[in-house]
Amino acid sequence: MKLWNKKVAGATVLTMSLLLAACSGDDESTDTGNNDAGSDTGGDDGATEEQEQVTITYAAGVDVTGATDKLIEEFEAQNPNIDVEYREMPADTGASHDQYVTMFSSQDASIDVFDADVIWPAEFAQGQYALELDRFIEADGINMDDYFPGTVASGQFNGRQYAMPKFTDAGLLYYRTDIVETPPTTWDELMTMAAELQGEAGTEFGYLMQANQYEGMVTNAIEFIASHGGQVVDENNEVVVNSPETIAGIQTMIDIVNSDFVPSNILSFQETETNNAWVGGQAVFARNWPYMQSTSADEEASEVAGNVGFATLPEGDAGSAATLGGWMTMINRYSENQEAAWEFVKFMTGAEGQTISAVEGGRAPTIEALYEETEVQEAATLFANEQFVETLQNAVPRPVTPIYPRISDIMQVQLSRALAGEITAEEAAANMQEEMEAAMAE
């Protein structure tokens, strides 16, 4: 309750500053030209009268919501000397990642700003692909305490900030309010209810999740593992995945994947398959990211509009756990327009940009106070839900390490084998431990 009051107070301050910012739109662009943020690069500082026209390239995954276009449009209106060119990247996080690595490892400067999955910053910092942002953050007086701590931590490497949080994701349990009165609180309850209620109101399945061999399956696995008290890598960067807690988590995941209440092709389910089956009215419960709240509510495309509730994911022995997902914004270390790039990053990840992302794109803000803004609350009922904000605050990050792609790959292979019944939960945990230790030692 105390926290709630604090949030309200913060929101008032924020509303004021948004109003002030809105009233002084011109100042913003003057600011950009004089650029306190990085005047140390020299050359054109001093008595600059004419603002030089700059074009920056911004890369981000396919965005069907229109939020990206709106962000660029607003930014350009406020910064007439900066043009933003949008380069569309694949929607799939793994595919985008590989393209960036190819470009940045050859010091390609054609992209200035890019969106990064929360699992990339450490790797991109270590690989010297990304610009360190602390001096910009300090010069512009940005208070990182305004952001959810987990999202800030995802952008750090060796104590420095390499990425600014743009929007956040956390796994949620969706349920059909026309079938379920009270959502389950434990995995055992979920399994009992999914088996019992499957078939009601024309549904085919009790539960949907992401079990395909890809990054999204790793996020599901971490929820099972953490809700049973297990961890993959601990605070000291030690691999601790082979524990009774982790094994219990994997076992629950195996039990659900092999139950009769999930689709028989659950091993090929990613977010898209989950969303399609869900909005088609095929399931009683589903695990997905916050965006499915928007697709569920779409009167035209969804058969379940008005019949969808959401809750925290079920508890294991150690409580409920949601994996922290989301996207950040970073600057290419080889960008030739670093000051302008920062202005765009600052805009997109600041209060105004995040409000655009929430309202136009249904993305969950990383600035806590925005959840008190009427505009944001009206964009999606989820954003007005106190429990959801708590879930975001407590979300479990994936291991923060430059070799995260390796760690994820090991999990994907071993867990897929366990889900397919080729190895036991114990064997999967032992294999992951051994392979991750070897990978970390390299």
Judged by the rule CB under 6 A, the positions of this chain that interact with ligand GLC are 93, 117-119, 169, 215-216, 219, 271, 289, 325-327
Provide the minimum distance between the beta carbon of 201 and ligand GLC in the complex, in angstroms, as a whole number. 28
Provide the minimum distance between the beta carbon of 324 and ligand GLC in the complex, in angstroms, as a whole number. 8
Q: Which is nearer to ligand GLC, 213 or 355 (CB)?
A: 213
Provide the minimum distance between the beta carbon of 92 and ligand GLC in the complex, in angstroms, as a whole number. 8
Q: Which is nearer to ligand GLC, 119 or 382 (CB)?
A: 119
Q: What is the 3-state secondary structure (H, E, C) of the chain?
A: CHHHHHHHHHHHHHHHHHHHHHHCHHHHHHHHHHCHHHHHHCCCCCCCCCCCCEEEEEEEECCCCCHHHHHHHHHHHHCCCEEEEEEEECCCHHHHHHHHHHHHHCCCCCCCEEEEECCCHHHHHHCCCECCCHHHHHHCCCCHHHECHHHHHHCEECCEECCEEEEEEECEEEEECCCCCCCCCEHHHHHHHHHHHCCHHHCCEEEECCCCCCHHHHHHHHHHHHHCCCCCECCCCCECCCCHHHHHHHHHHHHHHCCCCCCCCHHHCCHHHHHHHHHCCCEEEEEECCHHHHHHHCCCCCCCCCCEEEECCCEECCEECCEEEEEEEEEECCCCCHHHHHHHHHHHHCHHHHHHHHHHHCCECCEHHHHHCHHHHHHCHHHHCHHHHHHHHCCECCCCCCCHHHHHHHHHHHHHHHHCCCCCHHHHHHHHHHHHHHHHHC
Q: Which is nearer to ligand GLC, 32 or 412 (CB)?
A: 412
Q: Which is nearer to ligand GLC, 328 or 340 (CB)?
A: 328
Q: Which is nearer to ligand GLC, 219 or 296 (CB)?
A: 219
Provide the minimum distance between the beta carbon of 325 and ligand GLC in the complex, in angstroms, as a whole number. 3
Provide the minimum distance between the beta carbon of 415 and ligand GLC in the complex, in angstroms, as a whole number. 14
Q: Which is nearer to ligand GLC, 35 or 151 (CB)?
A: 151
Provide the minimum distance between the beta carbon of 215 and ligand GLC in the complex, in angstroms, as a whole number. 4
Q: Which is nearer to ligand GLC, 115 or 435 (CB)?
A: 115
Nearest residue to ligand GLC, using CB?
Answer: 325
Provide the minimum distance between the beta carbon of 119 and ligand GLC in the complex, in angstroms, as a whole number. 6
